[in-house]
């Protein structure tokens, strides 16, 4: 996609392109995070990308070793094309809005930022592209080799998105074919974990309420030391999922609960968040943190013994350093919160339907394994009682009580209607399940 192959894009951004000769507009690789734009927005004689089945695009990349450069091969094929161009980007599945490593600019490869300036981009994604738009005879294919430096630490799976033009060389965007492709790579099996400090467990608490009681399937937060190198934080995301489930080893850390591997959702030097596996709802419960989990250099913590397991441990998640329940207005992303606590939040009104989030409410129908993502509706099998401002809600005002669709199976949501009698202020809320109640003092703001 050399300059003279993209005449219509020049018309759209003449100042940018004249200022940075040899650099094409960024964001035309077909990456969904960039709106799915491709070179076919200009080179559209044959319709959308991949319409002409005579050609194709292939992206070859090996699994990555953090910080170790590798060559990415971009191969464009078409039996009659005589001019070739490409654009390529690398994104972490966990965080597609930032760069997943960096590309190396050479005499035949430019590296462009989303602002259409030359790299380095300082965090935003980078785009590698040809600078020569090489001309050939009708040789059938052309290969571009691009040097890519992976992130210096593992970030889960990474996707390369690319678009290419197989052109007829007529100097205009007509009669050119456009192809897109993507390829996903994982952390290389050659990567070795190198945590040097033996993990130490200080305490473990309910991951929602931070109180002692927990239950099978609930979220658990472990505090201690030696869980990661200083300053390193790792949150599990889609790029870490295994079979639609959270991993049992994250950033070299694994956790065993009664000998069962637990799904790990977060790790930093002093904290681990896990979901408790399906174990007996009575104690004692053993807990072991494994550094360099599964390796010959595995470092295991001393065995911790927990005595606070119970069949149900209902608890609300709350906004940080408050007693305000993590809540949203139903079917929206607007928080139910004081805006001084959560920017963009505001109080609920009597009659509003809000969604409250919690953990530890027990079995659901259908059942979903620990760590798995709830694919849809999964209602709590144990009857629940919801009380807001001292008023017990009738069943008609509890619109849903179950797992939060698309989330880990330890996260529950309750869609409930605020009673018309709810007073102004921070109104207490509680939910009972199986004879156990959520933590006292949890509230939501209400304002008529």
Q: Is the whole model's pTM more than 0.75, yes or no?
A: yes
pLDDT band at 30 (very low <50, low <70, confident <90, very high): very high
Mark whether 174 and 86 lie in a shared domain. Answer: yes
Mark whether 361 and 432 lie in a shared domain. Answer: yes
pLDDT of res. 127: 97
Mark whether 302 and 319 lie in a shared domain. Answer: no
Q: Is the pLDDT of residue 290 over 60?
A: yes
Give the span between the Cα atoms of 43 and 36, in whole angstroms.
Answer: 15
Identify the H or E element spanning 19: helix 14-19
Mark whether 138 and 65 lie in a shared domain. Answer: yes
CATH of the domain at 72: 2.60.40.10
291: left (phi over 0), alpha (psi -120 to 50) or beta: beta
pLDDT-above-70 percentage for the chain: 95
Model confidence pLDDT, tens digit, residues 317-352: 999 999 999 999 999 999 999 999 999 999 999 999
Residue 195 lies in a domain: no
374-377: Cβ within 8 A, 24+ apart: 374/403, 374/404, 374/405, 374/406, 374/407, 374/408, 374/409, 374/411, 375/244, 375/405, 375/406, 376/405, 377/402, 377/403, 377/405
Most confidently modeled of 12-26, 162-176, 410-424? 410-424
Give the span between the Cα atoms of 29 and 180, in whole angstroms.
Answer: 7
State the average pLDDT over residues 162-183.
93
Name residue, tokens 């609930």: 218
pLDDT of res. 5: 30
Q: Is the pLDDT of residue 48 over 90?
A: yes
pLDDT of res. 309: 96
pLDDT band at 13 (very low <50, low <70, confident <90, very high): very low
Q: Which of 386, 372, 395 lies closest to 438, judged by CA?
A: 386
pLDDT band at 23 (very low <50, low <70, confident <90, very high): low
Q: Which of 12, 23, 162, 182 lies closest to 89, judged by CA?
A: 162
pLDDT-above-90 percentage for the chain: 88
Mark whether 345 and 426 lie in a shared domain. Answer: yes
Mark whether 320 and 301 lie in a shared domain. Answer: no
List the single range of 11-25, 47-61, 380-394, 406-420 with lowest mean pLDDT. Answer: 11-25
Identify the H or E element spanning 328: strand 327-329
Q: Which of 105, 106, 191, 196 lies closest to 151, judged by CA?
A: 191
State the average pLDDT over residues 264-291.
96
Mark whether 171 and 209 lie in a shared domain. Answer: no
- Of the three residues 253, 275, 306, the one that is the final residue of a domain is 306
Q: Is the pLDDT of residue 10 over 90?
A: no
Based on the structure, what is the number of domains in the chain?
3
Average pLDDT of the chain is 92
- Of the three residues 185, 212, 228, the one that is the final residue of a domain is 185
Q: Is the pLDDT of residue 7 over 70?
A: no
Q: Which of 221, 216, 199, 214 lies closest to 274, judged by CA?
A: 221
Domain holding 158, by residue range, is: 3-185
pLDDT of res. 326: 97
State the average pLDDT over residues 296-314.
96
Mark whether 336 and 301 lie in a shared domain. Answer: no
Q: Is the pLDDT of residue 21 over 80?
A: no
Q: Which of 207, 165, 206 lies closest to 77, judged by CA?
A: 165
Backbone angles phi, psi at 204, to 5 degrees: -140, 135
pLDDT band at 8 (very low <50, low <70, confident <90, very high): very low
Q: Is the pLDDT of residue 247 over 70?
A: yes
pLDDT band at 430 (very low <50, low <70, confident <90, very high): very high
Model confidence pLDDT, tens digit, residues 77-122: 999 999 999 999 999 999 999 999 999 999 999 999 999 999 999 9
Q: How many residues does the chain have?
A: 448
pLDDT band at 18 (very low <50, low <70, confident <90, very high): very low
State the average pLDDT over residues 373-378.
95
pLDDT of res. 363: 96
Using alpha carbons only, how large is the chain's radius of gyration in Å? 27
CATH of the domain at 281: 2.60.40
Mark whether 223 and 248 lie in a shared domain. Answer: yes
Q: Which of 179, 22, 171, 221 lies closest to 88, judged by CA?
A: 179
pLDDT of res. 22: 44
Q: Is the pLDDT of residue 27 over 50?
A: yes
State the average pLDDT over residues 303-309.
96
Mark whether 319 and 208 lie in a shared domain. Answer: no
Sequential DSSP letters for 75-130: EEE-SS--EEEEEEEEEETTBTTS-SSEE---SSEEEE-TTSSBSP-SSS--EEEE
Q: Is the pLDDT of residue 262 over 90?
A: yes
């Amino acid at each position: 996609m050399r300059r003279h192959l993209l005449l219509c894009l020049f018309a759209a951004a003449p100042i940018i392109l004249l200022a940075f000769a040899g650099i094409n507009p960024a964001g035309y690789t077909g990456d969904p995070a960039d709106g799915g734009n491709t070179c076919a927005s200009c080179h559209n004689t044959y319709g959308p990308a991949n319409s002409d089945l005579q050609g194709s695009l292939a992206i070859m990349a090996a699994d990555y070793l953090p910080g170790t450069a590798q060559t990415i091969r971009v191969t464009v094929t078409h039996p009659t094309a005589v001019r070739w161009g490409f654009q390529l980007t690398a994104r972490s599945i966990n965080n597609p809005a930032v760069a997943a490593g960096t590309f190396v600019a050479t005499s035949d490869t430019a590296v462009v930022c989303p602002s259409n300036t030359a790299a380095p981009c300082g965090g935003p994604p980078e785009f590698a592209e040809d600078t020569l738009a090489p001309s050939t005879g009708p040789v059938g294919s052309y290969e571009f080799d691009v040097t890519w430096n992976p992130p210096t630490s593992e970030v889960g799976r990474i996707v390369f998105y690319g678009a290419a033009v197989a052109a007829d060389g007529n100097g205009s965007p007509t009669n050119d074919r456009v192809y897109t492709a993507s390829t996903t790579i994982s952390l290389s099996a050659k990567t070795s974990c190198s945590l040097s400090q033996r993990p130490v467990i200080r305490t473990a608490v309910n991951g929602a309420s931070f109180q002692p009681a927990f239950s099978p399937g609930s979220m658990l937060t472990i505090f201690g030391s030696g869980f990661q190198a200083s300053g390193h934080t790792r949150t599990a995301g889609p790029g870490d999922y295994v079979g639609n489930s959270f991993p049992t080893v994250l950033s070299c850390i694994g956790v065993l609960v009664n000998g069962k591997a637990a799904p790990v959702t977060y790790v930093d030097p002093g904290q681990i968040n896990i979901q408790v596996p399906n174990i007996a709802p009575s104690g004692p419960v053993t807990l072991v943190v494994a550094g360099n989990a599964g390796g010959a250099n595995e470092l295991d913590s001393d065995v911790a013994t927990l005595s606070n397991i119970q069949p149900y441990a209902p608890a609300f998640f709350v906004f940080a350093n408050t007693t305000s329940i993590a809540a949203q207005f139903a079917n929206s992303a607007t928080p139910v919160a004081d805006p001084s606590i959560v920017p963009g939040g505001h109080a609920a009104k009597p009659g509003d339907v809000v969604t409250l989030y919690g953990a530890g409410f027990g079995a659901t129908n259908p059942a979903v394994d620990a760590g798995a993502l709830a694919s849809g509706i999964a209602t709590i099998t144990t009857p629940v009682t919801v009380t807001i401002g001292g008023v017990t809600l009738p069943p008609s005002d509890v619109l849903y009580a179950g797992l939060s669709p698309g989330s880990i199976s330890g996260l529950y949501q309750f869609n409930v209607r605020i009673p018309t009698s709810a007073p102004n202020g921070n109104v207490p809320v509680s939910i009972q399940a199986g004879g156990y109640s959520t933590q006292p003092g949890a509230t939501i703001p209400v304002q008529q």
